[in-house]
Amino acid sequence: MSPRVEIFRGNDLTLPASEVNVVIDVVRAFTVAHYAFMRGAAEMLLVPDVETAFSVRNQRPEVLLAGEIGGLPIAGFDLDNSPVRFAAAKLEGKTIVQKTTNGVKAALHSLGAPMVLLTGFSNAEATALYLKSHYGDSDAKINLVASHPTGDEDFACAEYIRSQLLGETMDADEVRRRIYGCETVVKFLDPARPEFNAEDIDYCAACLPPVFVMAVHQEGQLPTVQKVML
């Protein structure tokens, strides 16, 4: 017996019923989230728009706002959407409010399952290991959501996680090649676009050792992401 794994692409989907929805954003939202938790963040709140983010900070001045519009920093936010910057930030015990174009939007459209996980490629090994340990011997329905509507990076990561779940052989280097070659990354590697950091893609394309997964809890007013140790 093995899980029933299906891959979807897009950030505003109506997903079929499942035991688990896994939302993937490699470049860059959930790579950022992964590094935020590695740097000690306590939780992340997912918000649909800038107005909601500022409203949360009005009520809770201690939170940090992070995200992007069109890939660029948002005026008045504390942090942008760069994993390079998050990897160096002091985030111990912090609550981060995240708003992004694809990943967060896709996550907010994927809350119908009992379990919702977020991942980039950096945390794909941990996500696959968690899914295998909890659902590998069942016929559970698992939806993998590649949040970028057209880019290949999220789809490649979804295929990699599916291959891990089903005992297939997909090499991590293939995913890295597809990340560096996808349309989403072109602007990061263009010297004429210094507003995009090419080093971010190195972080997005690194598959790190499995330590924890990022699970969405829905008990509060806003979906809250917390790390769950393996």
Query: Average pLDDT in the 132-152 region?
Result: 97
Give me the DSSP letters along 20-76.
EEEEE-TTTHHHHHHHHHHTT--EEEE-SSHHHHHHHHHH-TT-EEEE-BTTBPPTT
pLDDT by residue (tens digit) across 48-75? 999 999 999 999 999 999 999 999 999 9
Domains of the chain from N-terminus onward: 4-229 (3.90.1560.10)
Q: How much is the pLDDT for 42?
A: 98
Mean pLDDT over residues 176-201, rounded? 97
Q: pLDDT tens for residues 193-206?
A: 999 999 999 999 99
- Asked whether 150 and 156 are in contact (CB, 8 A), the reply is no
pLDDT tier for residue 145 given thresholds of 50, 70 and 90: very high
Cβ-count burial of 222 within 10 angstroms (0-12 exposed, 13-18 middle, 19+ buried)?
middle
Q: What angle is formed at CA 117 by the lines to CA 156 and CA 62, rounded to 5 degrees?
A: 120
In the chain, at which residue ranges do the beta strands (DSSP E only) sit?
A: 4-9, 20-24, 43-46, 64-67, 95-99, 115-119, 141-146, 212-217, 224-229
Quick one: average pLDDT of 72-90? 98
For residue 1, is pLDDT > 90?
no
First to last CA, the chain: 23
Q: Is the separation of the CB atoms in 200 and 38 below 8 Å? A: no
Digit-coded pLDDT (tens) for 7-49:
999 999 999 999 999 999 999 999 999 999 999 999 999 999 9
pLDDT at 129: 98
Percent of the chain with pLDDT over 70: 100
Residue 168's φ and ψ, nearest 5 degrees, are -90, 170
